[in-house]
Amino acid sequence: MALKTTRKENYPEWYQSVVAEADMAEISASPGCMVIKPWGYGIWENIQKFLDEKIKDTGHENCYFPMFIPLSFFQKEADHVEGFAKEMAVVTHSRLSSVDGKLVPDAPLEEPLIVRPTSEAIIADSFSKWIQSYRDLPILINQWANVVRWEMRPRMFLRTREFLWQEGHTAHSTTEEAEEETLKMLEVYRQTSEDALAMPVLTGRKPEFDKFPGAVDTYCIESMMQDGKSLQAGTSHYLGQTFAKSANITFVNKNNENEYAYTTSWGVSTRLIGGVIMSHADDEGMIVPPRIAPYQIVILPVIRKPEEAEEVMNYITQFQNEIKQQTAFGEKIRIKIDNRDKKSADKFWEWTRKGAPILCEIGPRDVQGNKVMVKERLKFGTEEGKQILDKDEFAHAVGEKIEKIQTEMFAKAKARLENNINTSIKTNADFVKYFEAPSTWIEENGKGVGFVRGKWSGDEKSDELLKEMKINIRCIPFDQSGTEGECLLTGKKGATIDVIYGRSY
Amino acid sequence: MALKTTRKENYPEWYQSVVAEADMAEISASPGCMVIKPWGYGIWENIQKFLDEKIKDTGHENCYFPMFIPLSFFQKEADHVEGFAKEMAVVTHSRLSSVDGKLVPDAPLEEPLIVRPTSEAIIADSFSKWIQSYRDLPILINQWANVVRWEMRPRMFLRTREFLWQEGHTAHSTTEEAEEETLKMLEVYRQTSEDALAMPVLTGRKPEFDKFPGAVDTYCIESMMQDGKSLQAGTSHYLGQTFAKSANITFVNKNNENEYAYTTSWGVSTRLIGGVIMSHADDEGMIVPPRIAPYQIVILPVIRKPEEAEEVMNYITQFQNEIKQQTAFGEKIRIKIDNRDKKSADKFWEWTRKGAPILCEIGPRDVQGNKVMVKERLKFGTEEGKQILDKDEFAHAVGEKIEKIQTEMFAKAKARLENNINTSIKTNADFVKYFEAPSTWIEENGKGVGFVRGKWSGDEKSDELLKEMKINIRCIPFDQSGTEGECLLTGKKGATIDVIYGRSY
């Protein structure tokens, strides 16, 4: 019973219906913003938990900065604004007053305030007060916060006006240390994406024209969605002394000289959830990787007559206790018994749409035979995906099972990525031809328009040419071959840079 | 080495210096907002963790609603606005444009947006879409979010324009169930305050004129600060059908009739941290209850010669591993080795100001004797607060020690509360006299102007009279004596309601 739109029929519509049918989020009365519902937010909480631990393990501390940034800070950051931050929510008044029974904005502010699109500007201001000597460095902080960018074409999770994210900000006494930090956090993002979200990524550097405004270098993780397009899933910026100079973050170094600090920033957002959907969901709805699933196992009692209830529920309690003895990923297994007063078939479809990794249906016949009907979401519709198993055997191996599903999900997504990086295109002509085809859903083990790994000359006009072709350079990978060839974009000979070309979200 | 202002000298200034010297928060470039620094935010994270678990254990799920609420929603909620929500941040533009090199707000919005002061209005709108039948009820949700109220006299943690909080919102099919929910969450707040923050509270109902606008009943937890004033630390509202009617939240009940739902809301905020400070801090700075301390134990190596370093650090590692075998409050003990390149005396004062519960100083002499110098923050300056102990004995009992400190902190605050509730005032004349004295710091086991528990007539003019006296009715306790007496506020005879009078933050 597929969703009303399948991936093949209409990929963008399919995406929206997964979000809706899995009850992860919905549009809200607040234009361009979404309500993140419990199933979607539960996924975010698990992503947060995984990543927050890694952020702390690498020596960072959480804190919280105001969301309102005085307009004058943006004036200072001319570069900053030029790049991306023009479309922003501006607070101009601090009161609602009633005029003839109608509420109107009142009490205009002396200086308008911007709702943070990102917090470099206001955090740099604090850093300038916190840092005097090299002994105060490094400063390693992070915040979990909401940010606002006035998107004109919002899409659930991928691009909404308000979204949730974390932003790390650090200051260092040497450029080497700051660069090391930037790459360290990129690696943390790679681990989070691959290990928690089962979402394989390519890592690399952005070309000049795609850097974060003010950054010396922007690094990214890029993941391939099921339609072959790339999702930029996280970025880590080495900011050099740009923000230190505009906010006057100086320190006395070991030689007793005044020096500007070297800063970094890095962030991932609720956009990751959009990536999880487009990496794993199928025509039946969402499939959540177990590591970040709010519930890894959902148990559905199948009770047709009231007199069966007690026996079945006792059996389920016993089953649940057995499962609770186990762990997955070194943590307690997250388990839900859905005994709502609804038809079990409806509940089955609800959890299928939500993509809970394992569904267990238990009725009187299972009680008799000490069995459990196990449905694996990832294998929906296959024989293997629906098995009657011995209750105790299943319960004792359930941790392993959960971890195995995670591995399988990653492998599947990894195969898609690897199958769809074309490395054989050597000429501009072939390159143009490759990207003439539209992006469509790529079925399992199939091939479609994905990424091209090939040569780039670094030509100044590249940005323009890319825009014409509606593609981008997703990243410049760290492993460069050093060989020469034709620039796939311009046709120039003698191009030496290996890049990943692709369409993107 | 007391802070530059003591509690006795100037209580409000003392408060500010605790916040500053403990490095918990600071004013920011964003007017009226604060930067919550790692030590303050770490306390908040531990409060969140404790409370979030209780919120989930009582069946609630987290989600996230947009922070921008269309102006028209407030127009609908005339009542709502009348009460408290006039001073609010209003977003009127969605772009910054450069005019003659100067950035100005541009692209005016069709409808201004309000930055949420609280989310009843926008959540009720969602509820109206989610709820059709009694089978959809109850809905039990919560969100952790930032909110904005345009305070004119901001004070760190207690009253800032932007603050962090959680807000629970629920909908039910009967008034009984909704009322039960309201009181259940009040109890969760009492537990959080008393068990996590070691902050004893009184619970009760607010009088009519102090209810949340639109509420049928507002319940609160109230705590006594060291100057005898009350801090409202959390509220839980039974909203009846008020919001259901304005947002049209209806459901088909079991009798197949359309009915408005019954809703509740409840919240606590970063204000709690202000309460923790004024419950526990002393003239040396902050004292953090171990249960919410970012670090429960801080170890300071005391190394005078470089050649001592290795031996001392090895000993400390061993000590740390012993401590890690123990738990406190059923969790891992949070421990920090402070080996920054600073004088150990400076580090000692830093951690004293921050109020880490236990400081351990370890130098070569301790290594020789298998000892550790243990300084208990709560007992600063006393003999008992500074002891040389056997390393292994200390390490093996450290979990108990940490829990004992928590108990002692609660007992101390509880004694202050109980000593300073005056129950013997029976006449208006004595009552007026009691509140003629100014509020000052109440020393341990001392008495000052605190709360009066006594009679109230419920007279309509009470609000006015209270304002004149600059006091409030903090709450109407659940345990009512049922006796008659003179209304302490108005002097009327035959008053039957027992209330708690006091000054407040």
Q: Which residues of B touch A82 (CB under 8 A)?
A: none
Contact B29 A73 (CB under 8 A): yes
Q: What is the amino acid identity at position B32? A: G
Contact A41 B63 (CB under 8 A): yes
Q: How many Cβ atoms from other residues are within 10 Å of residue A95's Cβ?
A: 17
pLDDT per residue, tens digit, chain B (505 aa), is 789 999 999 999 999 999 999 999 999 999 999 999 999 999 999 999 999 999 999 999 999 999 999 999 988 766 544 544 589 999 999 999 888 888 899 999 999 999 999 999 999 999 999 999 999 999 999 999 999 999 999 999 999 999 999 999 999 999 999 999 999 999 999 999 999 999 999 999 999 999 998 899 999 999 999 999 999 999 999 999 999 999 999 999 999 999 999 999 999 999 999 999 999 999 999 999 999 999 999 999 999 999 999 999 999 999 999 999 999 999 999 999 999 888 999 999 999 999 999 999 999 999 999 999 999 999 999 999 999 999 999 999 999 999 999 999 999 999 999 999 999 999 999 999 999 999 999 999 999 999 999 999 999 899 999 999 999 999 999 999 999 999 999 999 999 999 999 999 9
Fold of A290-404: Rossmann fold (3.40.50)
Fold of B420-502: Translation Initiation Factor IF3 (3.30.110)
Distances (CA, A) of B462 to A227, A426, B427, B471, B491: 68, 86, 16, 11, 11
Which residue, B238, B231, B220, B233, is CA-closest to B120? B238
Q: Choose the closest CB to A70 out of B30, B41, B64.
A: B30
Mutate to test the interface with B, among A97, A103, A104, A335 (most CBs of B within 10 A): A103
Q: What is the amino acid identity at position A140? A: L
DSSP state of B379: G
Q: Choose the closest CB to A91 out of B26, B90, B135.
A: B90
Tell me the per-residue pLDDT of A310-364, one tens digit each, with 9 for 90 and over.
999 999 999 999 999 999 999 999 999 999 988 989 999 999 999 999 999 999 9
CA distance B146 to B327: 33
Count how many Cα atoms sit within 13 Å of the Cα of residue B409 in the half-sphere of its side chain: 33
Which residue, A154, A199, A161, is CA-closest to A50? A199
Contact B146 A141 (CB under 8 A): no
pLDDT at A78: 60
B469 and B458 Cβ atoms separated by less than 8 Å: no
What residues contact B181, with CB distance under 8 A and at least 6 apart?
A: B138, B140, B170, B172, B264
Q: Choose the closest CB to B87 out of A31, A67, A95.
A: A95
How far is residue A121 CA from its own chain's centroid?
24
Q: What is the distance in angstroms between the Cα of B495 and the nearest Cα belonging to chain A?
A: 39
pLDDT per residue, tens digit, chain A (505 aa), is 789 999 999 999 999 999 999 999 999 999 999 999 999 999 999 999 999 999 999 999 999 999 999 999 988 766 544 544 589 999 999 999 888 888 899 999 999 999 999 999 999 999 999 999 999 999 999 999 999 999 999 999 999 999 999 999 999 999 999 999 999 999 999 999 999 999 999 999 999 999 998 899 999 999 999 999 999 999 999 999 999 999 999 999 999 999 999 999 999 999 999 999 999 999 999 999 999 999 999 999 999 999 999 999 999 999 999 999 999 999 999 999 999 988 989 999 999 999 999 999 999 999 999 999 999 999 999 999 999 999 999 999 999 999 999 999 999 999 999 999 999 999 999 999 999 999 999 999 999 999 999 999 999 899 999 999 999 999 999 999 999 999 999 999 999 999 999 999 9
* Secondary structure in 3-state letters for A178-239: HHHHHHHHHHHHHHHHHHHCCCCCEEEECCHHHCCCCCCEEEEEEEECCCCCEEEEEEEEEE
Which chain A residue has the Cα nearest residue B72? A103
> Residue with structure tokens 């003392």?
B14
Structure tokens at A13: 């519509």
Identify the helix (H) or strand (E) that includes residue A136. none
CA distance B306 to B315: 15
A163 and A145 Cβ atoms separated by less than 8 Å: no
Which chain B residue has the Cα nearest residue A113? B30
Contact B113 A89 (CB under 8 A): yes
Q: Choose the closest CB to A30 out of B75, B86, B122.
A: B122
What number of C-beta contacts closer than 8 Å exist between A and B? 193
Which chain A residue has the Cα nearest residue B149? A94
Structure tokens at B415: 């004694």
How far is residue B479 CA from its own chain's centroid?
24
ipTM over 0.90: yes
Torsion-angle region of B285 (φ positive above 0: left; ψ -120 to 50: alpha; else: beta): left
Contact A97 B86 (CB under 8 A): yes
pLDDT at A86: 84
A219 and A183 Cβ atoms separated by less than 8 Å: yes
CA distance B197 to B271: 12
> Residue with structure tokens 């901001």?
B154
Q: Which residues of A touch B99 (CB under 8 A)?
A: none
Which chain B residue has the Cα nearest residue A70? B30
What residues contact B35, with CB distance under 8 A and at least 6 apart?
A: A63, A64, A65, A66, A126, B25, B26, B27, B28
Contact B87 A67 (CB under 8 A): no
Q: Which residues of B touch A44 (CB under 8 A)?
A: 64
pTM of the model: 0.97
Q: What is the amino acid identity at position A8? A: K
Helix B271-280 and helix B38-57, axial crossing angle in degrees, nearest 10: 110
Distances (CA, A) of A157 to A16, A33, B268, B297: 10, 10, 28, 41
Q: Which CATH architecture has domain A11-280?
A: 2-Layer Sandwich (3.30)
Contact A63 B95 (CB under 8 A): no
Mutate to test the interface with A, among B65, B119, B270 (most CBs of A within 10 A): B65
Tell me the per-residue pLDDT of A43-75, one tens digit each, with 9 for 90 and over.
999 999 999 999 999 999 999 999 999 999 988
Structure tokens at B119: 């989310």
Q: Choose the closest CB to A92 out of B74, B103, B105.
A: B105
Q: Is A151 exposed, middle or buried (0-12, 13-18, 19+ CB in 10 A)?
A: middle
B462 and B411 Cβ atoms separated by less than 8 Å: no
Tell me the per-residue pLDDT of A157-172, one tens digit each, with 9 for 90 and over.
999 999 999 999 999 9
A88 and A115 Cβ atoms separated by less than 8 Å: yes
What residues contact B83, with CB distance under 8 A and at least 6 apart?
A: B212, B213, B214
Fold of B295-404: Rossmann fold (3.40.50)
Q: Choose the closest CB to A125 out of B29, B64, B129.
A: B29
Which chain A residue has the Cα nearest residue B113? A30
Count how many Cα atoms sit within 13 Å of the Cα of residue A81 in the half-sphere of its side chain: 20
Q: Choose the closest CB to A90 out of B74, B96, B102.
A: B96
Which runs of consecutive H residues, i.e. helices, occur in B93-146? 120-130
Q: Choose the closest CB to B105 out of A34, A40, A112.
A: A112
Q: What is the distance in angstroms between the Cα of B171 and the nearest Cα belonging to chain A?
A: 15
Q: Choose the closest CB to A103 out of B37, B68, B81.
A: B81
Could you give the dihedral angle defined by the CA atoms of residues A243, A248, A249 and A253, in that order, rounded to the nearest 10 degrees?
Answer: 120
Q: Which residues of B touch A341 (CB under 8 A)?
A: 135
pLDDT at A83: 47
DSSP characters over A244-262: HHHHT-EEE-TTS-EEE-E
Q: What is the distance in angstroms between the Cα of A436 and the nearest Cα belonging to chain B?
A: 36
pLDDT at B83: 47
* Residue ranges per structural domain of chain A: 11-280, 290-404, 420-502
Which chain B residue has the Cα nearest residue A40? B63
Structure tokens at A489: 């974009």
Which chain A residue has the Cα nearest residue B44? A63
Identify the helix (H) or strand (E) that includes residue A122. helix A120-130
Q: Which residues of B touch A77 (CB under 8 A)?
A: none
* Secondary structure in 3-state letters for B152-208: CCCECCCECCEEEEEEEEEEECCHHHHHHHHHHHHHHHHHHHHHHCCCCCEEEECCH
pLDDT at B74: 87
CA distance B299 to B316: 8
Contact A103 B75 (CB under 8 A): yes
Count how many Cα atoms sit within 13 Å of the Cα of residue B201 in the half-sphere of its side chain: 30
